Amino acid sequence: MRNFGMKRALLGAAIAALAMNASAAHAASATGTATAKILRQITLTKTSDLQYATIISGATASTVAVSTAGAASCGAGLTCTGTTTAGSYDVQGTNGAVVLVGGDSSVTLNGSLGGTMSSTLTYSSANITLGATGGSFQVGGTLSVGANQAAGDYSGTFNVTANYQ
């Protein structure tokens, strides 16, 4: 019986040794690569406000439009004078990167003596590719002026955004 136990122990050791050698013979390895791309933080700076100039309201409702190039169109029954400008924004970031631009689609202007007006907003581009000196985009809009709109200075704020694509 003692001899049988010894044979069994030797057989177990031989099987274990073969198993270790077999797994080592079938082992494989590979390498991986870690990568990262760093973009400069975007800075967004307003360089001019969207300005509809001075408007004399009439007996009927109408609109005043300022294009993203700053050109004005004064609707029927209104008189428009003074300077108009599109809102303009400078974007700084990584040269060659594409930046998505946009923001609010409308803004409410509140009058200093009461009254409100609303304006839809338009953007000169949905995206820009930054150059060595950055890039820019403009915001125009169409202002809805009510019949006999209340006098006063009107203003409202809107948000614009710039994000890497």
Report pLDDT for 26.
Answer: 81
For residue 94, CA distances in Å to 6, 51, 160 come to: 74, 30, 19
Q: Would you say residue 26 lies in a domain?
A: no
Question: Which CATH number is 130's domain given?
Answer: 2.60.40
| Number of structural domains the chain divides into | 1
Q: Would you say residue 71 lies in a domain?
A: yes
pTM of the model: 0.80
Distance CA 143, CA 80 (A): 12
Q: Would you say residue 55 lies in a domain?
A: yes
Report pLDDT for 18.
Answer: 53
Q: Would you say residue 47 lies in a domain?
A: yes
Per-residue pLDDT tens digits for 120-136: 999 999 999 999 999 99
Are 161 and 103 a contacting pair, CB within 8 Å? Answer: yes
Distance CA 73, CA 84 (A): 10
Strand duo 127-129 + 43-48: pairing:
unpaired
**Cβ neighbours of residue 115 closer than 8 Å, sequence gap 6 or more:** 146, 149, 150, 152, 154
Q: Would you say residue 72 lies in a domain?
A: yes
Report pLDDT for 154.
Answer: 98
* pLDDT above 80 (res 94): yes
Question: Could you tell me which of 99, 2, 119 has the C-alpha nearest to residue 42?
Answer: 99
- DSSP tally for the chain: helices H, then strands E: 1, 13
Domain that holds residue 59: 43-164
**Cβ neighbours of residue 41 closer than 8 Å, sequence gap 6 or more:** 93
Residue-averaged pLDDT of the chain:
91
Q: Would you say residue 48 lies in a domain?
A: yes
Q: Would you say residue 147 lies in a domain?
A: yes
Q: Would you say residue 23 lies in a domain?
A: no
Q: Which residue has the tokens 């069994």?
A: 8
Per-residue pLDDT tens digits for 6-53: 566 555 555 655 555 555 568 899 999 999 999 999 999 999 999 998
Distance CA 136, CA 124 (A): 9
